[in-house]
Amino acid sequence: MAAISMQAVGKHFGKTEAIRNVGFDIRDGEFAVFVGPSGCGKSTLLRLIAGLEDVGTGTIAFDGRDVTELAPAERGVAMVFQSYALYPHMSAYDNMAFGLKLAKTDKRNIDDRVRDAARILQIEPLLDRKPRELSGGQRQRVAIGRAIVRQPRVFLFDEPLSNLDAALRMQMRIELKRLHRDLGTTMIYVTHDQVEAMTLADRIVVLNAGAVEQIGAPLALYHHPRNLFVAGFIGSPKMNFLAATVTACDASQVTLDLGTRRPVIAAVADTTRLRPGAKVTLGLRPEHLTDTLADAAQLDGEVIALEHLGSESYVHLACGHDESLVIKSVGDTAIEVGQRVSVAVPPRACYLFDETGTALLRPD
């Protein structure tokens, strides 16, 4: 197990600045998830920690020891990739044992470790099979087994579940969580899927254009995103953003004009940075909005699309702003396309962002 510390880490590929001045710590035994849109530098950061890429500037330390110049094999990390990269001519057992054989580990010890990993991953009956005789999920388990037998100080996962179907991904997520609990080893997991990040992580590191936007526990990011980027990235369906003007504010609440028939009242923990006339962005999560009685509502609009998911429905409203407003409704909603719907905005459902996109403090 290891704590990892990054200080002022930077990396260029030619003119592309893939990582910009990244500095944070991952705690010993923590499950950290790097998340962000395609090309934001997640894989590069993981590969820098693994030693598969040379660090441009800055340092990386494991348990206080500088590993920046150490080769991957000397760092005690094991990596699992999206492509399982198993040897096709070897059995699952031999694939898992291969690295240990190369390291001249004694046979008995190899056998113990492979069978132990197979038991943890519930693939004991499959050890004699070749990769082509295994399903995608079983292959990925063998690839994870190959990492486990090395007893690494840190597991590094680079989108390991992307090739699996939705049901299997969910099952594997639960298994990875269990694995983390059983082994207690530091794990770093890269994904572009915020649902995966929310469900797996002790702490999420949100990356954007090579830099860290915010680090925090999943629910801390959900309730208190630092800026528009994190607010728009964490949560599904995505947060709605509406342009608004402040018309009044006191110590704990702000009155907003959205160009709608009623003002919206937003609860804010600190209004010192606001004054009447300020332009802000109001963020509203679809799950916090409900269709309601017309006379109690602040927003209304025409339904332009409906998505039925069975357990819930997403209603898209055209309400005079650039983007449609999405609200989450019940699975068997009676709402129809073309209908007008009114929406109530509870004060505590409001997320506010100033003109720079920085969030205003919300009440807990």
Assigned token pair, 349: 């459902």
- Smaller CB separation from ligand ATP, 16 or 252: 16
Instruction: Check residue 206 for interaction with ligand ATP (CB under 6 A).
Output: no
Query: What distance lies between CA 138 and its chain's CA centroid?
Result: 24
Nearer to ligand ATP, 188 or 344 (CB): 188
Least distance (Å) between residue 72 CB and ligand ATP: 16
Nearest CB to ligand ATP, comparing residues 39 and 58: 39
CB 4 within 8 A of CB 11: no
- Map the footprint of ligand ATP across residues 167-196, applying CB under 6 A: 192
3-class state of residue 219 by DSSP? helix
- Closest-CA residue to 355 (of 238, 210, 245): 245
Contacts of ligand ATP in 2-61 (CB under 6 A): 13, 16, 18, 36, 38-44
From the CB of 82, what's the least distance to ligand ATP, in Å?
9
How far is the C-alpha of 292 from the C-alpha of 341, rounded, in Å? 8
Q: How far is the CB of 244 from ligand ATP (least distance, A)?
A: 32
Look-up of token digits 């770093």 = 188
Burial of 183 (0-12, 13-18, 19+ CB in 10 A): middle
For ligand ATP, which is the closer residue by CB, 53 or 300? 53
Judged by CB under 6 A, how many residues of this single chain contact ligand ATP? 12
CB of 56 to ligand ATP, least distance (A): 12
Cα separation, 111 vs 93, in Å, equals 9
Of residues 15 and 181, the one with the C-beta less far from ligand ATP: 15
Cα 137 from Cα 144, distance rounded (Å): 11
Shortest Cβ 233–ligand ATP spacing (Å): 13
Pairwise CA distance, residues 6 & 61, whole Å:
6
At its nearest, how many Å lie between ligand ATP and the CB of residue 147?
19
Of residues 95 and 214, the one with the C-beta less far from ligand ATP? 214
For β-strands 340-344 and 350-353, DSSP reports them as unpaired
Q: In what order do the strands lie in the sheet with 77-80?
A: 77-80, 154-158, 186-191, 31-35, 203-208, 211-216
Q: Which is nearer to ligand ATP, 46 or 254 (CB)?
A: 46
Minimum distance from residue 194 beta carbon to ligand ATP (Å):
12
- Footprint of ligand ATP (CB under 6 A): 13, 16, 18, 36, 38-44, 192
